């Protein structure tokens, strides 16, 4: 049967074999660890690390949903990374009214003043870039949304560490960004070969993060 198919449709058979061999399902996946420190060598949280494959296609876009709530007069979380095309909800859990506004080119939008318990329709982030979110009622309130074309991203925790797993082996351009860099300073960048033996990727930023503003 197989032989017959091969003889009748040699081109199709060759294509099927190529697809079977290069299918991402069969690519070996590996882990990559990250460690971010500031100018003084102290652990840095809220660093978004993202990896873009070199010479390999990105997997198909997966639309996901994230939530940035308004809680205790702050946006929470402070930093959110999402895949392009994802949507974000902005529920208000506070006792007072809040507002949501972005002037960023990647996504300009406004949710006019709304009360506790209200969850406005989600906002779709359809272009990659950095989006700074404000509440125009409380000038210290700020959140950052990093919209990325790659699905391979992670955020460092209080220990300054993060891990990406299920990365198909190969070469990646890996970048690290912190909200204090805004959209002005370019992210740090390294080319990394991902395999079972990959060493942790270290990042040292040339500044000390500013404390988050509060009321």
Q: Which secondary-structure segment (H or E) carries 203?
A: strand 201-204
CB of 88 to Cu ion, least distance (A): 16
Distance (Å, whole) CA 142 – CA 44: 19
Q: By CB neighbour count within 10 A (0-12 exposed, 13-18 middle, 19+ buried), where does 214 fall? A: exposed
- Nearest to Cu ion of 141, 181 (CB atom): 141
Q: Which of residues 42-61 bind Cu ion (CB under 5 A)?
A: none
- In the numeric block, the tokens 């409380």 are attached to 138
Q: Which of residues 74-113 bind Cu ion (CB under 5 A)?
A: 98
Distance (Å, whole) CA 8 – CA 49: 49
Q: Which of residues 122-151 bind Cu ion (CB under 5 A)?
A: 135, 137-138, 141
CB of 97 to Cu ion, least distance (A): 7
Distance (Å, whole) CA 176 – CA 171: 16
CB of 112 to Cu ion, least distance (A): 12
- How are beta strands 65-67 and 48-53 bridged, if at all? unpaired
- Nearest to Cu ion of 17, 137 (CB atom): 137
CB of 138 to Cu ion, least distance (A): 4
CB of 121 to Cu ion, least distance (A): 19
- Nearest to Cu ion of 71, 161 (CB atom): 71
Q: Which of residues 163-182 bind Cu ion (CB under 5 A)?
A: none
- Nearest to Cu ion of 15, 136 (CB atom): 136
- Nearest to Cu ion of 72, 149 (CB atom): 72
- Nearest to Cu ion of 98, 178 (CB atom): 98
Nearest to 143 by CA among 125, 165, 163, 166: 125
The site that binds Cu ion (CB under 5 A) totals a number of residues, namely: 5
The partner residues of 75 in beta bridges, in order of sequence, read 70
The torsion angle over the Cα atoms of residues 147, 208, 141 and 80, rounded to 10 degrees, is 20
CB of 141 to Cu ion, least distance (A): 5
List residues near Cu ion by CB under 5 A: 98, 135, 137-138, 141
């Amino acid at each position: 049967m197989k032989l017959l198919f091969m003889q009748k449709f040699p081109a199709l058979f060759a294509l099927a074999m190529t697809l079977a061999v290069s299918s991402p399902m069969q690519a070996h996946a590996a882990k990559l660890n990250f460690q971010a420190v500031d100018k003084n060598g102290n652990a840095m949280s809220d660093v978004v690390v993202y990896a873009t494959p070199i010479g390999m296609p990105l997997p198909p876009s997966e639309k996901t949903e994230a939530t940035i709530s308004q809680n205790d007069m702050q946006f929470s979380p402070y930093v959110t990374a999402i895949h392009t095309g994802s949507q974000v909800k902005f529920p208000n859990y506070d006792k007072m009214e809040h507002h949501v506004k972005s002037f960023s080119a990647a996504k300009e939008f406004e949710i006019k003043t709304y009360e506790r318990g209200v969850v406005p329709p989600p906002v779709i982030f359809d272009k990659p870039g950095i989006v700074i979110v404000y509440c125009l009622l409380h000038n210290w309130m700020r959140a950052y949304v990093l919209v990325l074309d790659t699905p391979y991203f992670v955020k460092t925790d209080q220990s300054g560490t993060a891990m990406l797993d299920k990365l198909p082996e190969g070469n990646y351009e890996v970048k690290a960004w912190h909200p204090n860099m805004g959209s002005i300073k370019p992210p740090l960048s390294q080319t990394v070969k991902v395999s079972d033996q990959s060493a942790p990727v270290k990042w040292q930023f040339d500044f000390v993060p500013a404390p988050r503003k509060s009321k």
